[in-house]
C-alpha cells in the first residue's frame, strides 16, 4: 500500500498531509501552553516573569537552532532530521508533564525547542520539495492555512484540557499524537539521502563554526531586544550585549564567506529575490507582530472584555489566514508575486494607519475586529508569495536552510516588533507621569495607554511602508522555474 501511495500522482499531498499533522501539533502545543501558564504559576507558587521562561526558553531554542538544523537536513537528509525532531518533541513533552518543579519544566521546554527547530526547518523544505516549482505558492499557502487553524484551535484545546484535567494534560496530550505522527512519517515520507558531490564540487560538510557563531549572535540579539525595555536601552547590559551581538554577527559573515561548505551561503544575498525578499519579510513581521501582543491588553484592560471573549474576538482575524493563505499561494503561482506582496503589505499598512487615527478608549469592538481582519488578510496575501519568490532563487539542495531562514526572519522580527512597540507605549505612559509598565494598564490610565498604542500603530505602519518599497524593488513575475518537477523518492543529489 505504501508503495502504491508513493507511486501515485497525489503523493505530494500525502507528504503535505503528513507534515501538516506535525505542524498542527506544534502550533496547538504553543497555544495550549500559553493558556496553561496561569495554572502553572499557581501550582508552583511562582510569578509571571519566571513562568514566562517556559515560552521564552522554547522560543530561544528554536530561533538559535533552526538555521543549523535546516542545513543539517540538507546534508544528511530532511526526513531523518524531521523524525528525529519529532522524537525529541514527544520525549520532551512527557518530561514536561512529569516535571516536579518549575526549573525542570523550563528545561524540558528548552529541550522540546530543539526538536521543534528540527521539525520546522525540515518540514516545510520537504513539502515544497514534493511539489513542482509551478505549485510552490500553493504548497506554502496551504501550509499557512494549517498554521492558522492550529492558532485558532490551540487556546481552545488548552483551555479544555486544563479545565477537565490540569496543566500537565497540555503536555501529556502531545505524546500519543506525536507517536502517531512519527509512525506515519516513517511510512509516508520519502527516504533518500543526498548523493555524492558532482565532479569538481566540494563534499558537503556541516559547518560547526557557522552554527556556533550564528547561534551565539542570534541568542545575543534576542536577549538584547527582548530585555531592552525592561532594563533600559542605555544600560551597560544592553550596550555590551549589542556590541557582542554585532561582533558575533560580523564574525559569522566572515566565516561563512571563507568556509568551503558554509551553513548559509552569503553569496545568495547577491540575488535580488533573496536579499529583497528576506528584508521585505522581516519588515512585514516587524510591522505587524506587536499588534497580536498589544491588542489583548487593550481589549481586556481598557474595553474590559474577559479572556474568553477576547479569544473569540481574535478568531476572525486568524480565519483570514486560513482562507486567504491558500488562495494567495495559488494566485502567485499563476500571476507572480509582485502585486500580491505589494498589495498585501499596503492593505496591512492601511489598516494600521486607520487604527492609529481612530483608536480611542471606547472604540467600537466591531471596528477593531474588522481592522485586524484587514491586516491579517494583508499578511496572508504577502507571506506565501514572498517566501515562494525567495525559494525560487535557490537550488533544491538549499531548501532546508533557506526555509529555516524565512522562519528565523519571522521569529526575530516578532521579538523585535514586540520590544519596540512596548517601548513606545510605556515611554508614552511614563511621559504622562504614570508607571512605565504594561502591568499598570487599566481603565484608569486608558488615555495614556491608548495614546502610546496609537504611536505604536503609526510606527508599525511606517515599517510596513519600508516593506512595501522593498517588495516593489524586488521585481515581478518569476522566470520559468528551473526546478519544475518535485523531488523523487529515489536517492539523488540533494534529495530527501
All three cell numbers of 6? 508513493
Query: What does DSSP assign to residue 99?
Result: -
d(CA 112, CA 211): 19
Give the pLDDT score at 104: 94
Identify whether the C-beta of residue 137 lies closer than 8 Å to the C-beta of residue 326: no
pLDDT at 83: 94
**Residue 376 near residue 341 (C-beta atoms within 8 A):** no
Q: Give the model's pLDDT for residue 141.
A: 85
User: Which cell numbers hold the place of 89?
Assistant: 518533541
- d(C-alpha 304, C-alpha 426), whole Å: 20
Q: What pLDDT, on the 0 to 100 scale, is given for residue 483?
A: 43
**pLDDT band at 193, cuts 50/70/90?**
low
CA dihedral 272, 263, 66, 419 (to 10 degrees): -60
Is the confidence at residue 490, as pLDDT, over 80? no
Q: What percent of the chain has pLDDT over 70?
A: 92
What pLDDT, on the 0 to 100 scale, is given for residue 183? Answer: 93
Cβ atoms of 67 and 263 closer than 8 Å: yes
Radius of gyration of the chain (CA): 22
The residue behind cell 474595553 is 303
Q: Give yes or no for a contact between 134 and 12, defined as CB atoms under 8 angstroms apart.
A: no
Cα–Cα distance measured from residue 431 to residue 239, given in angstroms and rounded to the nearest whole number = 24
Q: pTM to 2 decimals?
A: 0.82
249-297 pLDDT, tens digit per residue, is: 999 999 988 888 888 888 888 888 889 999 999 999 999 888 887 888 8
248-257 residue pLDDT tens: 999 999 998 8
Cβ atoms within 10 Å, residue 485: 10
User: Which H or E element spans position 248?
Assistant: helix 236-258
Amino acid at each position: 500500500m505504501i508503495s502504491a501511495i508513493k507511486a501515485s500522482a497525489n503523493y505530494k499531498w500525502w507528504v503535505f498531509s503528513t507534515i501538516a499533522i506535525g505542524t498542527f501539533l506544534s502550533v496547538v502545543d504553543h497555544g495550549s501552553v500559553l493558556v496553561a501558564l496561569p495554572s502553572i504559576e499557581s501550582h508552583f507558587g511562582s510569578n509571571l516573569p519566571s513562568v514566562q521562561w517556559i515560552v521564552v526558553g522554547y522560543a530561544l531554542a528554536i530561533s538559535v537552532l533552526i538555521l543549523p538544523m535546516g542545513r543539517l537536513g540538507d546534508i544528511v537528509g530532511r526526513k531523518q532530521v524531521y523524525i528525529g525532531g519529532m522524537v525529541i518533541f514527544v520525549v520532551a513533552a512527557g518530561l514536561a508533564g512529569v516535571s516536579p518543579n518549575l526549573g525542570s519544566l523550563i528545561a524540558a521546554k528548552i529541550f522540546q525547542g530543539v526538536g521543534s527547530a528540527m521539525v520546522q526547518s525540515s518540514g516545510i523544505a520537504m513539502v515544497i520539495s514534493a511539489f513542482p516549482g509551478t505549485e510552490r505558492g500553493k504548497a506554502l499557502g496551504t501550509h499557512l492555512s494549517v498554521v492558522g487553524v492550529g492558532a485558532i484551535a490551540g487556546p481552545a484545546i488548552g483551555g479544555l484540557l486544563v479545565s477537565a484535567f490540569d496543566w500537565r494534560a497540555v503536555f501529556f496530550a502531545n505524546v500519543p499524537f506525536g507517536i502517531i505522527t512519527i509512525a506515519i512519517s516513517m511510512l509516508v515520507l520519502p527516504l533518500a539521502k543526498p548523493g555524492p558531490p558532482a565532479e569538481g564540487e566540494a563534499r558537503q560538510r556541516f559547518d560547526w563554526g557557522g552554527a556556533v557563531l550564528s547561534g551565539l549572535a542570534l541568542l545575543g540579539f534576542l536577549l538584547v531586544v527582548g530585555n531592552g525595555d525592561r532594563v533600559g536601552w542605555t544600560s551597560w547590559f544592553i550596550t555590551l550585549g549589542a556590541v557582542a551581538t554585532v561582533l558575533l554577527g560580523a564574525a559569522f559573515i566572515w566565516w561563512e564567506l571563507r568556509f568551503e561548505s558554509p551553513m548559509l551561503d552569503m553569496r545568495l544575498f547577491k540575488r535580488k529575490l533573496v536579499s529583497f525578499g528576506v528584508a521585505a519579510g522581516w519588515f512585514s513581521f516587524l510591522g505587524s507582530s506587536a499588534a497580536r501582543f498589544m491588542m489583548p491588553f487593550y481589549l481586556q484592560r481598557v474595553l474590559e472584555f474577559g479572556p474568553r471573549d477576547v479569544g473569540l474576538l481574535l478568531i476572525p482575524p486568524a480565519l483570514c489566514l486560513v482562507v486567504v493563505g491558500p488562495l494567495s499561494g495559488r494566485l502567485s503561482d499563476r500571476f507572480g508575486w509582485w502585486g500580491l506582496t505589494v498589495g498585501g503589505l499596503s492593505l496591512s499598512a492601511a489598516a494600521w494607519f486607520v487604527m492609529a487615527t481612530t483608536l480611542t478608549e471606547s472604540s467600537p469592538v466591531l471596528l477593531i475586529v474588522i481592522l485586524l481582519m484587514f491586516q491579517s488578510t494583508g499578511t496572508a496575501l504577502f507571506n506565501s508569495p514572498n517566501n515562494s519568490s525567495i525559494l525560487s532563487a535557490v537550488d533544491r539542495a538549499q531548501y532546508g536552510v533557506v526555509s529555516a531562514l524565512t522562519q528565523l526572519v519571522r521569529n526575530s522580527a516578532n521579538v523585535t516588533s514586540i520590544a519596540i512597540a512596548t517601548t513606545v507605549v510605556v515611554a508614552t505612559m511614563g511621559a504622562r507621569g504614570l508607571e512605565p509598565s504594561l502591568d499598570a494598564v487599566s481603565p484608569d490610565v486608558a488615555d495614556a495607554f491608548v495614546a502610546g498604542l496609537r504611536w505604536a500603530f503609526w510606527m508599525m505602519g511606517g515599517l510596513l511602508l519600508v516593506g512595501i518599497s522593498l517588495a516593489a524593488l524586488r521585481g515581478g513575475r518569476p522566470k520559468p522555474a528551473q526546478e519544475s518537477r518535485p523531488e523523487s523518492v529515489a536517492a539523488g543529489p540533494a534529495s530527501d
